[in-house]
Amino acid sequence: MQQKSLWSLLVFLLAAFCSANVYSAGFQLFNELSARTASLGAAMTARTDVVESAWFNPAVSAMLDGPQVMAGMAAVIPQMKLESDDYRADMKDKVYPVPHAYAATPLGDKFGVSMAINMPYGLTTEWDNDWRGKYYAVYTELRCLFISPAVAIRPLEWLSFSAGPNFVYATADMRKALTPQIPGLKTNMNGEDWAYGYTVSMIAKPFKDWSFGVTYHSQVDIGLSGTARYTMDLPGFQKSKMWLDVSLPRTVSIGVATTAIKDFTFSMDIVWTDWSSYDRLDFVYESAPGTGQPGVISVPRNWEDAWAFKFGAEYTYSKMWQFRAAYVYDKSPIKDKYREPTLPTNDRHVFSVGLGWNYKHLGVDASYTYVLVENGGTSPMTPGLDGTYKGQAHIIGTSFRWSF
């Protein structure tokens, strides 16, 4: 009966997510993936007691005490501006909701299953229509919904492994002015695709108070297929089919967690992300802008691999209350030479606090996260844009848990 209720709820959540409009304020997300995750800095790879392990380390499902489900929402409020001696442009202030849902359950003493539905990658930036950088970007959106089931096996009491596929539904929407030679000419490009990847993980708890985890998320190659449209009906600027390949990078997370100090749980993750695979964007047109002939427009990215260091602490005040805090240093993959207004970010310092409330089978988590983005200069590849990008973000999260 418990298993039937668990998966019935999951089917309902899947239907709700597929009909939702999901936005994000960055390309790779982690503090938006649940309120508890945010307040622990996403240092979750070695936690053996949380349902969010359905994403961070699915091998944990075989070690849980019983079935768990979670659903919630993060509200992301990004703030970014470009400043120079004689000019200032502000990215539009908006609130972007990022939902999440997880379920996990052990199956006897040797197996476990889990499901994660979340948005670990996404991007939305929006500038004024008439700002100086309108020929580079006005509105850019990439949405990547992951549906990730997994199966875990526990060959030893202290050791568990898991594997499972990632089903990814991606959509993109890009709008900008096209050329100063034709004032008022704008383009709108959009596309969608289903893509696939996989996750494998391991969790080990060889000692009572210590656990260690490793998780590998594979690269996901997305082939967006859509349409390019223009605001003027001119020769060489006709509605056209278009294609765009985007690679979501593979990641390796290594984590450790300990409960050696009474009433405290400390966790740390080190995450490597293979952003060097994101070397360029090739826009393939059936009818390229300006020529009306088949063509390819390549935009260099040349990102580099990046590391993130995550530290989280949880204090269990009582069975009803937990208090949490975290810090993350998130290295940017973007070289100064290639920083541009679709994602003008830099190294990030992430500070989070949160709390958990429990009553019988119900749990509620809440979190607040402040993201400080280090200042970044403009690129010589965007002439006409001079100055410094300055940014920050606020993230407020709420999640609801149920243990069967």
Average pLDDT of the segment spanning 341-346: 90
The count of domains in the chain is 1
Average pLDDT of the segment spanning 268-286: 93
Q: What is the pLDDT of residue 382?
A: 86
Q: What is the pLDDT of residue 10?
A: 46
Q: What is the pLDDT of residue 380?
A: 82
Confidence of residue 128 (pLDDT cuts 50, 70, 90): very high
Q: Per-residue pLDDT for 22 more than 90?
A: no
Confidence of residue 211 (pLDDT cuts 50, 70, 90): very high
Between vectors from CA 402 to CA 401 and to CA 403, what angle results, nearest 5°?
125
Tokens linked to 344: 């003008």
Of the segments 86-90, 94-98, 311-315, which one has the largest average pLDDT value? 311-315
Q: What is the pLDDT of residue 185?
A: 94
Q: For the residues of 319-367, what is the DSSP string, one character each?
A: SSEEEEEEEEEE-----GGG--TTS----EEEEEEEEEEEETTEEEEEE
Three-class SS state of 35: helix
pTM greater than the 0.85 cutoff: yes
Q: Per-residue pLDDT for 364 more than 70?
A: yes
pLDDT tens digits, one per residue of 50-68:
999 999 999 999 999 999 9
Write the burial class of residue 258 (CB in 10 Å: 0-12 exposed, 13-18 middle, 19+ buried). middle
Q: Per-residue pLDDT for 299 more than 60?
A: yes
Average pLDDT of the segment spanning 151-180: 96
What CATH number corresponds to the domain at position 317? Answer: 2.40.160.60
**What is the span of the domain harbouring residue 18?**
2-403
Confidence of residue 317 (pLDDT cuts 50, 70, 90): very high
Average pLDDT of the segment spanning 18-43: 73
Confidence of residue 379 (pLDDT cuts 50, 70, 90): confident
Q: What is the pLDDT of residue 11?
A: 44
Q: Per-residue pLDDT for 375 more than 90?
A: yes
